[in-house]
Amino acid sequence: MKKESDLWKITKKNTPKIRWTRIESWASFGVPDILGYHDSCGFFMCELKLAHKPKIAFSPHQILFHQVHQKRNFILLGLSCGAPRGPRKANEFKLYSSSSILGLLTDHRETPALATDWPAIQACLLAEKKN
C-alpha cells in the first residue's frame, strides 16, 4: 500500500457487512475519513492511516477529535510495505480505538490493537453500541 486510498479500497472489500461513506475531510478538519453504518450498531467513524514509521502522524485537529469523541470511533492502520500489490497478511492491518491515539503518536508497535485480521476488525466495528 502506498496511498491511503488503497487502504480505503481494501477496507471496503474486507468489511462487506458495513455500509461505508467516504468523508471529504477538507470541509471539517479533524473528522475521520470514513463513516460506517450497520443496523445492529448504528453509525461509527474510522480514521485511515498508513504506517511508514513507528510514530503515526496526526494533525492537531485529528488528535483533538479522537480525544473528545472516544465512543464508536476508530483508527485503522495499514502497515506500509514495499510491494503495492499481492496478498495481504493479517498483521498488515490493525484496528485501534480512538483512546489509543496518544500511543500511536509514540509507537504503534507498542500500542495494543483491538484487532489485527479482517474478520476480527469487522466484528469490533460491528459490536453493538452500549449506552
Please give the model's pTM, rounded to 2 decimal places: 0.86
Dist CA 82 CA 94 (whole Å): 18
Residue 73 lies in a domain: yes
Instruction: Give pLDDT tens digits for 38-57.
Output: 998 999 999 999 998 899 99
Res. 5: pLDDT tops 80: yes
| Digit-coded pLDDT (tens) for 70-113 | 888 999 999 875 444 554 554 589 999 999 999 999 999 999 99
| CATH at 72 | 3.40.1350.10
Mean per-residue pLDDT, 31-43:
91
Domain that holds residue 71: 1-47+57-85+118-131
For residue 116, count other CB atoms closer than 10 A to its CB: 16
Position 12 in a domain: yes
Q: Integer distance in angstroms from the first to the last C-alpha of the chain?
A: 37
User: Which amino acid, one-letter code, is at 47?
Assistant: E
Q: How far apart are CA 116 and CA 91, in angstroms?
A: 6
pLDDT of residue 44: 94
Kindly state the average pLDDT of the residues 21-35.
83
How many domains are contained in the chain? 1
Would 92 be classed as within a structural domain?
no
